[in-house]
Amino acid sequence: MDGKKRFIRAAAAVILAVLLPANAAMAGKSKISSLGSEWWQWVLAIPSSVNPLLDTNGDNCMVGQHGAAWFLAGSWVGPVTRDCDVPHGVALFFPVINNVNFDTPNQCGQTGPLPSSFYRAQSKAYVDAASNLSVVLDGRPVSMTRMQSKVFELALPVDNVFVSADICADLADGIYSPAVDDGFYVQLNNLTVGPHSLVIHAEDQGSVLDLTYNLNVVPVVTQ
């Protein structure tokens, strides 16, 4: 992607609290290290009409969720407060700041294909420039860890967020590869049943992310 179109912002920095997940299926290092790319595969496959990145109140926070990890989206619509119900027992994984770049031959101002190393350098430069990153859960700061993905692929729908946000008006639906991610992510495990406040802040290249999640952890009946 060319110029600003190479810098596809999801939230702000990526924080990963290194806490052991409750579900053994997530305990392996390879599984945790893949969640950054899985987060992008989740959010970019969702049509813009219900995409959590464009959600202003939390109505779309459950779209596309399943399994042992639930994802929280950043914001492409400025400072927002979202109310979101999540099931007890899942791990919550989300970016504070992150950046994806992927190959778009003959689209978005690009000519021929480019290697993943080119896109990885673009994502790294974007995240390197981020500042004032913070995540606060129920009044307490959460630790942060940076993650860089392996090469992966993306599936974009017809009504994708890049077109609706005027980042790339000619980006067609389809499968795109190579794609790479860089960022700071957080993983939260075993939140107790009931209300929790999650506040995320990050700054990058003149823009500011201020995002609040009013989380309600709901008990799950298993039998």
Lowest mean pLDDT among 90-94, 195-199, 202-206, 217-221: 202-206
Mean pLDDT computed over 88-93: 96
Q: What is the pLDDT averaged over residues 33-59?
A: 95
pLDDT reading at 123 higher than 80: yes
Query: Does pLDDT of 46 surpass 50?
Result: yes
* pLDDT for the residue 222: 78
What average pLDDT does the segment 72-87 reach? 95
In this prediction, residue 10 carries a pLDDT of: 36
- Tell me, what's the pLDDT at 62? 96
Domain residue ranges in the chain = 3-218
| CA atoms of 28 and 183, how far apart (whole Å) | 20
DSSP letter assigned to residue 149: P
- Report the pLDDT averaged over residues 115-128: 96
- Compute the mean pLDDT over every residue in the chain, rounded to the nearest whole number: 86
Is residue 32 very low, low, confident or very high in pLDDT (cuts 50, 70, 90)?
Answer: low
pLDDT confidence tier of residue 223, bands split at 50, 70 and 90? confident
Q: Calculate what percentage of the chain has a pLDDT beyond 70.
A: 85
Burial of 42 (C-beta count, 10 Å sphere; 0-12/13-18/19+)? buried
What do you get for the CA distance between the two ends of the chain, in Å?
49
Query: Residue 37 to residues 10, 11, 16, 166, 190: CA-CA distances in angstroms?
Result: 12, 14, 14, 23, 23
Listing from the earlier edge strand, what are the strands of the sheet with 80-87?
80-87, 207-218, 194-204, 131-137, 140-141
Residue 160 has pLDDT above 50, yes or no: yes
Task: Tell me if residue 195 falls in helix, strand or coil.
Answer: strand
Read off the pTM: 0.85
